[in-house]
Amino acid sequence: MRLEVLLLVFASILSAKETTPAEFWSSYNKAEKIAFVNGSFGAFAKIKSHHKSEVKKQYIHDDNWREPYFIERFYNIIDEYIAKEIGYNLEIIVMHLDAFYTNSDNINIPILEALRIVSLIQDGEKKIANTRLLKSQQKHNKY
């Protein structure tokens, strides 16, 4: 019995077709896409908030402590994932992600990297977004 279950699991793993991030994204309807983006933005904001409070707790009694650059850089990276200029209109991000994945060069770029690129473009950081896009295309395309 155990052997049959193991063989079944092993066969299903071998036969499973790997989907691209673009296929995964396009399999969602509009409401699910908005919920995905909303959840991502919420998670990033919560991570940043929690980290700030933990750092504050740890160093609140040390008058000589200064925030190191890597913490500031960590917060800047998190901020790159959250588009601030559009407010709470997540439909714009969803439409831009849909457009992002229509380009065949972008189909293998993970959704969170795509979200970061789209958010940077929305916030007017086109040069940084284009650099991230080119690096992601090079990294994830298998030519």
Confidence (pLDDT) at 10: 58
Confidence (pLDDT) at 1: 58
Longest dimension (CA), the chain: 65
Cα distance from N-terminal residue to C-terminal residue, the chain: 43
Closest CA to 37 of 74, 81, 75: 81
**CB neighbour list of residue 67: distance below 8 Å, 6 or more residues apart:** 55
Phi-psi region of 87 (alpha: psi -120 to 50; beta: other; left: phi over 0): left
Please give the structure tokens belonging to residue 14.
């071998």
Instruction: Please name the helix (run of DSSP H) or strand (run of DSSP E) that holds residue 121, with its range, or none.
Output: helix 111-122
* Residue recorded with tokens 């295309």: 137
Residue 29 CB-density burial (10 A; 0-12 exposed, 13-18 middle, 19+ buried): exposed
* Amino acid sitting at position 71: I
Q: Say how far residue 98 (Cα) sits from the centre of its chain.
A: 15
pLDDT digit of tens for each residue in the chain (143 aa)?
Answer: 566 655 555 555 555 567 889 999 999 999 999 999 999 988 888 988 888 888 888 777 777 777 777 888 888 888 888 887 777 789 999 999 999 999 999 999 999 999 999 999 998 899 999 999 999 999 988 76
